[in-house]
Structure 1
Amino acid sequence: MRKIRLVALALAAAAIGYYVYHAVTYVPTSEYESAGMGWVGFEMALPIIALTLVPIVFAFTGEGIAAAFTGHNSSEFRAGLTGLGTVESVRQTGLTVNDQPQVRVEFSVEGVDGKSFHAAAKLIVPLTELALLRPGVVLPVRYLPGRTDKVEVDLSGDASAAQHAINESLIRKGITTAHKLDIAERGIATQAVVQSLSVTGMIRDGYSEVELGLVVTRPDGSTFATRVTKFLAPSTVGQVQVGRIVRAHYLPENESEVVIALAVNA
């Protein structure tokens, strides 16, 4: 985007320069023609076009606007690292594209090394999705190690990279283990009904530990009962209320270990 802007400025400067040069070096073709006619020839269109196109180029290459049209991250961030951005605040910038507002989102970002930093991103958000972008929502973001003040919401569509970032974060915080993630990856995918819910009182990095009584359905339709302890974020507690159906994974050789999967931004 910066290169496009520089090219636009260079062309504008060349157009205006040529117009001025033509005007000051103009030689009248007859004694009745004024020397000032050099300023009003067809060359006059060059600075007008330049002064019209440059603001348009700058507008359409603004932060978050190009991504709205292309659906991809900028080339600068496309190969950046994937981190987890927790929305802290959202405000509109006053700019709209096709009646869709541009917003500035302040994030608390957890990088691949586990360190957190504050950063901001600008993006175009459809009005129908604006209400979904609220404080506490977690989004995968792309960032540059040497520049942590600015990020871009990850538009690559690579769900595996985002899930890997979430998993690594949960392991670092002690919320889950590599063994449980292995069960979630290799285990049988099924459903379970929450029969009971109790809070143990243990809190880890803002996550509360709960003990769930589950009735898990096997692939053949039979069921078995088990108990699971899990650390939950406050926003996900509503997903495990008694009577709720949750996604679960288990290994057939060890039905005592069941892993449940919950949506991060439910």
Structure 2
Amino acid sequence: MKSKLRAAAVAFGILSVGYYLYYGLTYTPDEFTGGMLGWVGPQMALPIIALTVVPMVFAFTGILEAFTGRNSSEFRDAEVGIGTITSFRQTGVSVNDQPQVRIEFRVEGADGKTFDSHAKMIVPLTELALLQPGVVLPVRYLPGRTDKVEVDRSGDSGAAQRAMNESLIRKGITTRGKLDIAERGLAAQAVVRSLDVPGRIRGGYTEIVLGLVVTRPDGSTFETRAEKYLPPSAVGLVQVGRILQVHYLPGNEQEVVIALPVNA
């Protein structure tokens, strides 16, 4: 829809200017009129209208996308990648007092390759504080043109989660076995009794070893240890005494998976 409206606006602009130039170049003055009337007169109306309509159409279609919460038709079915914010700035454009922001990303594609790109989007003032370097967001990208991406607005959390899982597996941060436990295991709560940091790092994530006391659904408890790689910003969430959400399989209580938010 956006492409059709913009194409129609551009076509109208070209035809309007073309008609104006044709009229001026082919105008034949008579003994009562001068050659200037070939350029000044009612024929100016169409180019003036075009200069007003074309920018309005481009602006309206951009605003429409911002408030419909959907990706543009070009990116709607594009690949899903993992974008890490490296920087952002306001562009100076605003819609209903909500600023447009240019976000610089380091994107990891579905094939594991990384590239730098950017996205522009309208961000409510109340959410600007959430845009910080290091924050991870799912993005849509075109494999043949990676200079621009769009933050994924499809609401398909499954696609975003799959992209994140594959990224973590490639980096050695998790395994398919642990992901299976997170998907099929029982949800429970656990208290951190001990915290050890062996010192190993993978992809900027620090390895930690936790001693846990897990409470089963029936109220009984068991003790276990869990190894996990965490970004430095999330280490504070697993300090001794913290209550964590975990998953485990009843037949293997020694293998516990900790659930933490991506942008902890």
Fold conserved between structures, TM > 0.5 = yes
Question: What code does the residue aligned with 1:7 have?
Answer: A
Partner of 2:236 in structure 1? 238
Q: Offset at 1:198? A: 1.3
C-alpha offsets along residues 37-84 of structure 1, whole Å, 9 cap, x if unaligned? 99655x65433322211121232345xx44312211111111111110
Partner of 1:132 in structure 2? 130
Q: Secondary structure at the match of 2:255?
A: strand
- Whole-Å separation in 1 of the counterparts to 2:161 and 2:144: 24
1:188-207 to structure 2, matched below 5 A, reads: 188-207=186-205
> Unaligned stretches of 5+ in structure 1?
none
Structure 2 CA distance for partners of 1:51 and 1:230, relative to 1, 3 Å: same
Partner of 1:55 in structure 2? 55
- Whole-Å separation in 2 of the counterparts to 1:149 and 1:106: 10
1:23-62 to structure 2, matched below 5 A, reads: 40-41=41-42, 45-62=45-62
Q: Offset at 1:239? A: 1.3
Q: Secondary structure at the match of 2:261?
A: coil
**Contact map agreement 1:77 1:142 (CA 8 A) in 2:** yes
Q: Secondary structure at the match of 1:176?
A: coil
1:141-152 to structure 2, matched below 5 A, reads: 141-152=139-150
Greater Cα offset, 188-197 or 120-129: 188-197
Equivalent residue in structure 1 for 2:112, among 106, 110, 114: 114
Question: What code does the residue aligned with 1:6 have?
Answer: A
Partner of 2:82 in structure 1? 84
Q: Offset at 1:104? A: 0.9
- Whole-Å separation in 1 of the counterparts to 2:107 and 2:38: 61
Equivalent residue in structure 1 for 2:222, among 221, 224, 230: 224
C-alpha offsets along residues 208-239 of structure 1, whole Å, 9 cap, x if unaligned? 11111111111112221211111111121121
Structure 2 CA distance for partners of 1:152 and 1:21, relative to 1, 3 Å: same
**Contact map agreement 2:209 2:227 (CA 8 A) in 1:** yes
Question: What code does the residue aligned with 1:48 have?
Answer: I
- Whole-Å separation in 2 of the counterparts to 1:142 and 1:111: 9
Partner of 1:157 in structure 2? 155
> Unaligned stretches of 5+ in structure 2?
none
**Contact map agreement 2:27 2:38 (CA 8 A) in 1:** no
Q: Secondary structure at the match of 2:199?
A: strand
Structure 2 CA distance for partners of 1:19 and 1:26, relative to 1, 3 Å: farther
Greater Cα offset, 19-28 or 110-119: 19-28
- Whole-Å separation in 2 of the counterparts to 1:248 and 1:113: 30
Partner of 1:4 in structure 2? 5
Q: Secondary structure at the match of 2:10?
A: helix
Q: Offset at 1:131? A: 0.9
Q: Offset at 1:18? A: 4.8
Q: How high is the sequence identity, in percent, across the aligned residues?
A: 67
> What's the C-alpha RMSD, in Å, of the aligned pairs?
2.6
Question: 1:176 and 2:174 equivalent?
Answer: yes
Q: Offset at 1:12? A: 2.5
Q: Offset at 1:14? A: 2.8
Structure 2 CA distance for partners of 1:34 and 1:217, relative to 1, 3 Å: same
Partner of 1:208 in structure 2? 206
Query: How many residues end up aligned between the 2 structures?
Result: 261
Partner of 1:74 in structure 2? 72
Question: What code does the residue aligned with 2:14 have?
Answer: A
Greater Cα offset, 80-89 or 19-28: 19-28
Q: Secondary structure at the match of 2:217?
A: coil
Question: What code does the residue aligned with 1:49 have?
Answer: I
Q: Offset at 1:27? A: 11
- Whole-Å separation in 2 of the counterparts to 1:54 and 1:173: 47
Q: Secondary structure at the match of 1:76?
A: coil
